[in-house]
Amino acid sequence: MFHATPRLGAAAAVCARVLLSPWARLSLLLLLLAAAGVSVLLLEPQRLLAHGWPPHVDGAAAVVVFAVAYGLCTVAFVPRPLLNLAAGALFGSQLGVAAALGGTVLGAGIAFGLGRVLGQDALRPLLRGRLLRAADGQLSRHGFRSMLAVRLFPGVPFWASNYCAAVSRMRWSAFLLATALGSLPNTAAYVVAGARASAPASPAFLVALACIAVPALLGTAIAWHRRHRLRHRPRRPGEPRAQGEPRRQGEPGAQGEMAAVAVR
């Protein structure tokens, strides 16, 4: 019995190390996200627009419940435009904006926390390639302004930007503040469109559509320009080469690589 106790303790320590390892946590994250996605497919959140939400709850309590449901739905990959339109249709412009923005920040915070706790340690060693390293460096060094730009000019899926930020070294405060400020214009535009959907010829509805379309076009143009710059960004001294990237002239080993290419 006395000999069994140390063995059980050692086995428990091994199990704990395995369960708390980066890849085990990443597997748990993927399992949670898969379960959330399946549950959304079964629950069909698009019924919010037709049947209303939540049942038997009115006033401020309904707004709070909707905001919580909104946040959980964004973690499960439900598109935010659908939820924003539902917020406007159910609560009108003012309360709809409050509910949608609160749900946006809540959902972003949950996704960021899950990615930071369960996925960061396993995914950071996989950040190879110039584009991935440049994106990680941008988010880590200039987190607030980078995330603010991502939220202001939609193009990157909401869930993808949340988990990318979680893998980087961005601070919590910068992420949440940039999410709240950057998501406000686009969220308000969709909410107003949902609130005025019954009058598609009204000035408010047309202005809301313009506020949705213009940032999307600008975001596409900016993303294309930034992609070109990142692809041609000179590598900093000491920065590791991307896989398959040839050595530049003057770097150690460059002449050997050039000679090998000439022989081939």
Q: Where are the domains of the chain?
A: 21-229
Burial zone of 6 (CB within 10 Å; 0-12 exposed, 13-18 middle, 19+ buried): exposed
Query: Among all chains, which residue has been given the structure tokens 């406007």?
Result: 88
The answer to whether 86 touches 67, Cβ cutoff 8 Å, is no
Query: Would you tell me how many other CB atoms lie within 10 Å of the CB of residue 228?
Result: 10
Helix 203-231 and helix 143-152, axial crossing angle in degrees, nearest 10: 130
Residue 257: what pLDDT?
Answer: 45
Amino acid (1-letter code) at residue 43:
L
Asked if residue 120 has pLDDT above 70, the reply is no
Highest mean pLDDT among 45-54, 119-128, 163-172, 252-261: 163-172
Dihedral sign from CA coordinates of 141, 142, 143, 146: negative
| Radius of gyration for the alpha carbons in the chain, expressed in angstroms and rounded | 24
Q: Helices marked H in 115-154 — which ranges?
A: 120-123, 130-141, 143-152
The answer to whether 218 touches 244, Cβ cutoff 8 Å, is no
Residue 263: what pLDDT?
Answer: 45
Residue 181: what pLDDT?
Answer: 94
Asked if residue 168 has pLDDT above 90, the reply is no
The answer to whether 152 touches 100, Cβ cutoff 8 Å, is no
pTM here is 0.70
Q: How far apart are CA 227 and CA 223, in angstroms?
A: 6
Cis check for the bond before 125: say yes or no (omega within 30 of 0).
Answer: no
Query: Would you tell me how many other CB atoms lie within 10 Å of the CB of residue 193?
Result: 24
What percentage of the chain reaches a pLDDT higher than 70?
Answer: 64
Query: What is the torsion angle, in degrees rounded to the nearest 10, for the CA atoms of residue 61, residue 35, residue 111 and residue 59?
Result: -10
Query: What's the token pair of residue 118?
Result: 């369960």
Q: How far apart are CA 228 and CA 207, in angstroms?
A: 32
Q: How far apart are CA 115 and CA 122, in angstroms?
A: 10
Q: How far apart are CA 195 and CA 199, in angstroms?
A: 9
Residue 244: what pLDDT?
Answer: 47
pLDDT digits (tens, 9 = 90+) for 46-57: 665 556 565 667
DSSP 77: T
